[in-house]
Structure 1
């Protein structure tokens, strides 16, 4: 008797399933068609996105990331559409709720990493610096070696490789010396109060006028700035025709050599601090007097 009841129950369940399957058969066929067509559409979207990202950004890592995000998003939309056609709305709701909770948890757990990735995306689109540029970010100055989605690698002029998170690159000022194509030397010098300032200016400008590496489009300028403790100080500004660090320091060094040589030839004095040493308990006693007493 129990076997017959179990057999009837199984048969009734199978019949219900068969009826439900027959009733859902149009939806199943439609979902299969939508799935196949959707996969082709997703592939087409993927190829189109790759072409567009190559035109917008030359960063391969960023392009691959955007292509993957858009492709996976289209696949997700396709899956939800198929589930809706199959009248599995509860499953769709459960998946969306789970995805929201998981996304919130991941956002809190990896907020620094996410901030670096987002900053890397903005840097790739805005492009304030390129590989090979000479830049100064925070306290690091050097040549850009790599620009990744998470960090930027700089080789300093001391030969060190510095990896800077993109969040710091994006949130801090960037001094890009390569964008202008030239650099300026600001050299501060002081001369004695007894010198003829107009004569000093003419001799100084004449000494540096033909240094190799100076920009032909910018003139050398000189301005007196202040009355110092022991000298009248001025600043001389020279433009170097390249942002390269070696040329910059070479021109700076040659400028100092030529100015010093010109001042020696024309008896122009560059003052230096003078200190007077007093000996004795109350001061005012010279070293000779101390030696005589001892």
Structure 2
């Protein structure tokens, strides 16, 4: 019994001595690993601030800037962790950690597929110079001013002050019309005049009114005017001219102003803008004096 105890004690002492020797041997590596982790922590803070400043010059959205800077900090700290494990000769632990991270990342990616798609789409939209906050855009049946682009959605404020929130993925996968990319817009104006009108006079008058109303139109010849059809009650035409505008609201105001001035000019010159009418004609067979019709009324 005593011999067994002495043997066990000797094995324990040998084991402890082995551990102690290992600790003494790995103390420099352990200190170096700690230094690497501390260095990576402070480096992550510095790099995160640097990335935030650089990204803020390209992206106006604070949420995007913050997200990118945090991701950068996490990458730097993770790199420091991997280096520390390598210094400690924990290759198997490092391999297991990478494998586990890959499995977890795959599971999270599948579970959050839609969210991640919107996140990456938000990052892409934030770096697109052709889509900026304050632009007037039209997409997926909605039009309005861009008031926010974040990691989840794309927010528009329509002309009626309603807020429309659209997933970033939808914006990226569908056509988008940006009215703010150009400083000029073309106004299309359709109208009709009576058949008795002097068509050449109507054309000249309309061009002169547009040229006087808008400073951007230098002369009447700059206005495009085309008669398009013989309508049911009028001869219809299409008038086109350019204005300086960057949003649909400015275009609508210009069109409204043009309609008002053209109506005033037409009224002054006696030019008729007819509205659709229907004429009912009763021939002799349907006369109120018809014996058949009088008999029908008397029977009722």
Same fold (TM over 0.5): yes
Relative distance call for 1:11 and 1:137 in structure 2 (3 A) is same
1:36 Cα deviation (Å)? 3.7
Q: Tell me which stretches of 4 or more aligned residues in structure 1 moved more than 6 Å.
A: 286-291
TM-score by length of 1: 0.84
Matches of 1:287 and 1:16, distance apart in 2: 126
Long gaps (5+) in structure 2: none
Q: Which has the higher helix share?
A: 2
Equivalent in 253, 256, 260 of residue 257 of structure 1: 260
Equivalence for 1:225: 228
Map residues 19-58 of structure 1 onto 2, 5 A cutoff: 19-58=21-60
Q: Deviations over 1:71-112 (max 9, x none)?
A: 111111111111011111111111111111111111111111
Equivalent in 162, 168, 171 of residue 170 of structure 2: 168
My pick for the range that moved more, 18-27 or 159-168, is: 18-27
Equivalence for 1:185: 187
Matches of 2:155 and 2:124, distance apart in 1: 17
Q: Deviations over 1:227-246 (max 9, x none)?
A: 44554332112334334555
Paired positions, count: 290
Matches of 1:274 and 1:291, distance apart in 2: 28
Query: Is contact 2:233-2:277 (8 Å) kept?
Result: no
SS at match of 1:23: helix
Relative distance call for 1:44 and 1:197 in structure 2 (3 A) is same
Equivalence for 1:18: 20
Matches of 1:252 and 1:139, distance apart in 2: 22
Equivalent in 204, 207, 212 of residue 206 of structure 2: 204
1:215 aligns with 2:216: yes
Equivalence for 1:83: 85
Map residues 146-165 of structure 1 onto 2, 5 A cutoff: 146-165=148-167
SS at match of 1:178: helix
Long gaps (5+) in structure 1: none
Relative distance call for 1:287 and 1:261 in structure 2 (3 A) is farther
